[in-house]
């Protein structure tokens, strides 16, 4: 159980229930950054090409396992997902479940990075959702519509109203995670559902609002999808994590891109928060005056929803001011800018 003193915080080893590790050489950086403070992570499948079946998930998991640092090889487990497309079949779900795939991810086509192959006709997936319900495989949802006439700041709300309500009403026993929620509308929707519906919340949406993206010039390293919202929505997210509601849990949505890909005319969406993830959440919970509630949010609620055992190891954070680096150099020599670069955090993880 969590133990807190003035200068030290010990909590059950947490998990990241929404993570992008990417692929190739970048895995050396991203896997190590995650494994330093998380026991398990739900790994997103939006690679090129996307991970659409059990065989591809197994191959990707093998690549991830190869990148785990030797000293952490027995303390980090990637939990794999498959990417739903218009061509996904119930048989694909059954095969993935049998192969140990944890969940399936629904991206509306064009919603985020590498989502062009994603779903354009939700109703066509109803047989797939039925198979997932029967197999008790969670559905993970990027909850935004992509219609060009819908304002980008309204896309989460419209998705909930027009699509998510339909899925939940048709499949009341399907376990659903509404990923990286950003609005008060999403908070209220999840709170109103039974325990089959939950949500993940990122550090960037707790720490920032759209002023941090747009005021004083566009800040590309704060650009993510769903995009940062107004401060009233940020406050709703902060209030629900402070409340200790068990339907909301940690999911960083850490999504790295090389610096040159972020700082260009059509900069990529995503914040690389894995590098200081647990420290960022500790900062939020301390600001909210509920540091004692961090452990359940980070270590218990997600495991319980996924019906996995809670971790038994612990990590310790110490009260120590430190600065997030301005850049990290990848194995290929290119820099990447971590989320909150150059800013000071007040908690620091001791080595595992």
For residue 252, CA distances in Å to 16, 80, 201, 288 come to 6, 16, 7, 19
C-alpha torsion angle, residues 314, 248, 53, 255 (rounded to 10): -80
Q: Which residues pair with 77 in a beta bridge?
A: 40
CB contact burial 72-85 (16+ within 10 A = b; e otherwise):
eeebbbbbbbbbbb
Helix axes 90-98, 54-67, angle to 10 degrees: 40
Return the number of other C-beta atoms located less than 10 Å from residue 109's C-beta: 14
Q: Which residues pair with 136 in a beta bridge?
A: none
For residue 330, CA distances in Å to 37, 74, 335 come to 20, 24, 6
Read off the tokens for 172. Answer: 């009341």
Query: Among residues 165, 153, 128, 130, which one has the least CA distance to residue 53?
Result: 128
Query: Among residues 116, 174, 172, 169, which one has the least CA distance to residue 141?
Result: 174
Query: Among residues 85, 84, 45, which one has the least CA distance to residue 61?
Result: 45
User: Phi, psi at residue 204, to the nearest 5°?
Assistant: -65, -35
Query: Among residues 339, 225, 226, which one has the least CA distance to residue 277?
Result: 339
Parallel/antiparallel/unpaired status of strands 314-323 and 8-12? antiparallel
Q: 């992008």: which residue's tokens?
A: 20
* Spatial separation of the C-alpha atoms in residues 175 and 154, rounded to whole Å: 25
Set 15, 16, 185, 253: catalytic member: 253
Q: Would residue 253 show up in a list of annotated catalytic residues for this protein?
A: yes
Q: 């229930």: which residue's tokens?
A: 17
* Spatial separation of the C-alpha atoms in residues 182 and 144, rounded to whole Å: 11
Q: Which residues are catalytic?
A: 253
């Amino acid at each position: 159980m969590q133990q807190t003193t003035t200068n030290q915080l010990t909590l059950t080893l947490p998990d990241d229930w929404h993570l992008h590790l990417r692929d190739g050489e970048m895995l050396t950086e991203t896997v190590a950054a995650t494994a330093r403070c998380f026991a398990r992570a739900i790994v997103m499948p939006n690679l090129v090409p996307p991970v659409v079946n059990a065989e591809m998930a197994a191959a990707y998991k093998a690549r991830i396992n190869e990148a785990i640092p030797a000293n952490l090889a027995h303390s980090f487990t990637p939990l794999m997902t498959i990417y739903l497309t218009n061509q996904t079949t119930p048989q694909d779900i059954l095969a993935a479940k049998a192969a140990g795939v944890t969940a399936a991810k629904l991206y509306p086509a064009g919603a985020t990075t590498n989502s062009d192959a994603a779903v354009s006709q939700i109703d066509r997936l109803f047989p797939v959702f039925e198979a997932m319900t029967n197999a008790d495989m969670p559905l993970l949802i990027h909850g935004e519509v992509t219609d060009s006439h819908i304002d980008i700041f309204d896309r989460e709300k419209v998705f909930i109203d027009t699509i998510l309500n339909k899925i939940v009403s048709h499949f009341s026993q399907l376990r659903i995670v509404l990923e990286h929620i950003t609005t008060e509308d999403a908070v209220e929707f999840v709170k109103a559902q039974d325990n089959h519906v939950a949500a993940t919340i990122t550090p960037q949406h707790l720490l920032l609002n759209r002023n941090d993206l747009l005021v004083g010039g566009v800040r590309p390293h704060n650009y993510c999808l769903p995009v940062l919202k107004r401060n009233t929505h940020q406050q709703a997210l902060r209030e629900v994590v402070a409340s200790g509601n068990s339907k909301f849990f940690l999911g960083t949505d850490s999504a790295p891109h090389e610096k040159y890909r972020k700082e260009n005319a059509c900069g990529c969406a995503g914040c690389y928060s894995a590098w200081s993830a647990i420290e960022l959440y500790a900062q939020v919970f301390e600001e909210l005056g509920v540091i004692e509630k961090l452990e359940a949010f980070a270590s218990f609620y997600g495991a319980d929803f996924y019906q996995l055992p809670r971790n038994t190891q612990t990590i310790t954070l110490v009260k120590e001011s430190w600065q997030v680096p301005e850049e990290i150099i990848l194995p290929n020599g290119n820099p990447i800018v971590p989320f909150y670069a150059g800013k000071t955090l007040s908690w620091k993880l001791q080595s595992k």
